Amino acid sequence: MGLLAAGFSALLAPGHASQDFRAVVASGGWHSCALKRGNGAAACWGADDYGQSSPPKGRFLALGAGKAHSCGVRPGGRVECWGSNEHHQSESPEKEIFAQVACGAAHSCALSQDGEVHCWGSDEHERSSGAPVGRFVAISASGGHSCALKADGTGACWGFNEYNQTDVPDVLFRQLAPGYLHTCGLNLQNETVCWGQKRGDNKPPPGRFKQISSRGPFTCALETSGRAVCWPQAEQRRDGEALQTDQVL
């Protein structure tokens, strides 16, 4: 999730200050994880009923957090997961070397070092077997669908598509951020573009942004000035207006 998630989640980390963490934070259903500065150890907080907030010891390079499980990339490229394994979402491939990992509600996906997508766990709505073929530079997941981004800015999403949340528009992107029933991204002009579930007059805010993140029905984006703006894609806020914070992240 990066800087944006770090700005919010680190503030809520019990027993830690925001400066204790690197800018690598993953937020799941009811828990969050971050990499500690210095030793690269994973620290998690929030719900721990499945052990999703009890990471193994040792150093990680990247993190992912799902509904009730978490995953991390070890320095050697091996992915290690912890928490719920009801759908085998915590059983990562043993012989693959990965650079990134992302977690959905009951599945996990990772990018190999050569940019190929590998997914495991639940395959409902082909959230695992529907992974695209090709080479990608970034991967993200949330709920029942996932997205990956190529170096040229073209995106691909797969999985649950009841609200067309995997139908990527014909736009080049810098970043993709799948939510529960929607997906948002930053185009090459650093503007927000969203598709999928949309109720009422909820609209992404205008302006230029440098990072975007979605989880559940909400999306947050970080303005170039450092101010975060969040908005719902569903009916949680009746007036449909964006929420803002004056804290620079």
What is the predicted pLDDT for the residue at 19? 53
Residue ranges of the domains in the chain? 3-248
pLDDT class for 238, splitting at 50, 70, 90?
very low
Query: Which of these, 87, 164, 162, lies nearest to 128 by C-alpha position?
Result: 87
Mean pLDDT for 228-249 is 53
pLDDT class for 15, splitting at 50, 70, 90?
low
Residue 233 confidence (pLDDT) above 80: no
Give pLDDT tens digits for 184-232.
999 999 999 999 998 665 678 899 999 999 988 889 999 988 888 988 8
Asked whether 90 and 52 are in contact (CB, 8 A), the reply is no
Give pLDDT tens digits for 42-88.
999 999 999 999 999 999 999 999 999 999 999 999 999 999 999 99
What is the predicted pLDDT for the residue at 33? 93
pLDDT class for 243, splitting at 50, 70, 90?
very low
CATH number of this structure's domain 3-248, picked from the four choices 3.40.50.150, 2.130.10.30, 2.40.10.10, 3.30.300.30: 2.130.10.30
What is the predicted pLDDT for the residue at 9? 45
What is the predicted pLDDT for the residue at 35? 93
Contacts of residue 249, Cβ cutoff 8 Å, sequence gap at least 6: 3, 4, 6, 7, 8, 222, 226, 227, 228
Distance CA 121, CA 173 (A): 27
Query: Which of these, 57, 53, 54, 59, lies nearest to 27 by C-alpha position?
Result: 53
What is the predicted pLDDT for the residue at 234? 54
Give pLDDT tens digits for 116-152.
999 999 999 999 999 999 999 999 999 999 999 999 9
Q: Which of 5-14, 50-59, 95-104 has the lowest mean pLDDT?
A: 5-14
DSSP string, the chain: -THHHHHHHGGG-TT--GGGEEEEEEE-SSEEEEEETTT-BEEEEE--TTSTT-PPSSB-SEEEE-SSEEEEE-TTS-EEEEE--TTSTT---SS--EEEEEE-SSEEEEEETTS-EEEEE--GGGTTTTPPPS--SEEEEETTEEEEE-TTS-EEEEE--TTSTT---S--EEEEEE-SSEEEEEETTS-EEEEE---TT--PPPS-EEEEEEETTEEEEEETTSEEEEEESSSSSTT-PPEEEEEE-
What is the predicted pLDDT for the residue at 199? 67
